[in-house]
């Protein structure tokens, strides 16, 4: 299962009213395979060409989170009973559940916050998404961990496995208490609010625990990581993002392409495959964290 990053309202996310970058390719006429969560390898795939969508008019498609939404309505309905009780009581909408969850977070954190958690959940809010894949996310994690522990050799090959890396293990000790990159390394959900440390809370269904960070702090820490490592300018970051994650793409593969096409596949000659993927992932997360802060929207890993 792949990894995407989503920036937008949680209401839109859990209603399924957004498209991944791959699904957006369907707007150009390419059939996109949507594999539902929990589907066994080799199972049936649903091919869904997705029409183009404007931020103010999202593409409507059958939500892939219907089962999970149903569980919310069972678990979080005012009646607290099964589906038949919830249906009879006209259960709250997903937007209502998001608002209730936000209230619960504020109650849970009490006086720990300088300001209450708040963000844009309006229907008119835009959304943004991109795909680092697991290998990009892993390389970003290892880039941050090795920056803190330069005595350990950084990988030279891109990898999607960070858990066994010695630098990662050092950075993650004591629940990430001693790392300067706590908002990069630990969360899977970021809120566009200012708070010092990531925290754990129940997810909206009350079924799992999620680590929540601040996208304001995430953006700061990503900028610091860039300054301590690649020191990419805004122009270079844009090139790294546009160039994509594939370190095997070379200029000699661009025969017959125009200038714009060559720019999309060429990569810098310096650096290892790890560096290429890490630069791409760093640029991607900086871009989306910036959009999260600028538009006051949550940012979430999706797999």
CA distance 153 to 74: 50
What residues have CB less than 8 Å from 179, skipping those under 6 apart? 144, 145, 148, 171, 172, 185
Query: How many C-beta atoms surround the C-beta of residue 217 within 10 A?
Result: 23
Question: Averaged over 193-209, what is the pLDDT?
Answer: 91
Q: What are phi and psi of 5, to 5 degrees?
A: -120, 130
Contact indicator for 161, 145 with CB cutoff of 8 Å: no
At 31, the pLDDT band (50, 70, 90 cuts) reads low
Q: In 3-state terms, what secondary structure has residue 4? A: strand
Residue 191, beta-bridge partner list: 214
Q: Which two tokens stand for residue 90?
A: 């006209």
Q: What is the pLDDT of residues 163-189, one digit of tens each?
A: 999 999 999 998 999 999 999 999 999
Q: In 3-state terms, what secondary structure has residue 133? A: helix
Query: How many C-beta atoms surround the C-beta of residue 134 within 10 A?
Result: 15
At 151, the pLDDT band (50, 70, 90 cuts) reads very high
Burial 119-130 (b: 16+ CB within 10 A, else e): bebeeebbbbbb
Residue 34, beta-bridge partner list: 46
| pLDDT, position 128 | 98
User: For residue 49, is pLDDT > 60?
Assistant: no
User: For residue 257, is pLDDT > 90?
Assistant: no
Residue-wise DSSP of 218-233 = HHHHHHHHHHHTT---
Our measurement of the distance from residue 273's CA atom to the centroid of its chain's CA atoms, rounded to an integer in Å, reads 22
pTM for the predicted model, two decimal places: 0.75
- What is the average pLDDT value for the chain, to the nearest integer? 78
At 21, the pLDDT band (50, 70, 90 cuts) reads confident
């Amino acid at each position: 299962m792949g990894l995407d990053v989503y920036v937008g309202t949680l209401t839109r996310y859990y209603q399924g009213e957004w498209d991944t970058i791959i699904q957006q390719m369907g707007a150009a006429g390419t059939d996109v395979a949507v594999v539902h969560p929990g589907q066994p390898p080799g199972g049936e795939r649903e091919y869904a060409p997705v029409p183009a969508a404007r931020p103010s008019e999202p593409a409507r498609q059958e939500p892939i989170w219907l089962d999970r939404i149903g569980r919310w309505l069972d678990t979080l309905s005012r009646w607290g009973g099964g589906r038949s009780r919830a249906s009879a009581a006209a259960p709250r909408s997903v937007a209502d559940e998001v608002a209730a969850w936000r209230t619960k977070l504020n109650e849970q954190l009490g006086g720990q916050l300088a300001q209450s958690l708040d963000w844009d959940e309006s229907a008119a809010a835009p959304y943004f998404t991109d795909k680092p894949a697991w290998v990009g996310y892993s390389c970003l994690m290892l880039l941050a961990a090795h920056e803190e522990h330069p005595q350990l050799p950084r990988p030279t090959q891109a990898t999607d496995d960070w858990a066994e890396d010695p630098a990662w293990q050092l950075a993650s000790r004591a629940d990430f208490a001693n790392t300067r990159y706590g908002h990069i390394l630990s969360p899977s959900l970021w809120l566009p609010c200012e708070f010092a440390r990531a925290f754990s809370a129940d997810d909206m269904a009350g079924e799992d625990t999620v680590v929540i960070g601040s996208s304001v702090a995430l953006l700061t820490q990503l900028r610091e990581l860039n300054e301590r490592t690649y020191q990419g300018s805004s122009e270079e970051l844009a090139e790294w993002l546009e160039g994509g994650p594939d370190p095997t793409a070379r200029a000699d593969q661009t025969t017959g392409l125009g200038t714009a096409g060559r720019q999309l596949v060429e990569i810098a000659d310096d650096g290892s495959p790890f560096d290429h993927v890490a630069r791409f992932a760093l640029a991607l997360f900086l871009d989306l964290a910036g959009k999260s802060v600028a538009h006051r929207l949550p940012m979430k890993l999706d797999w």
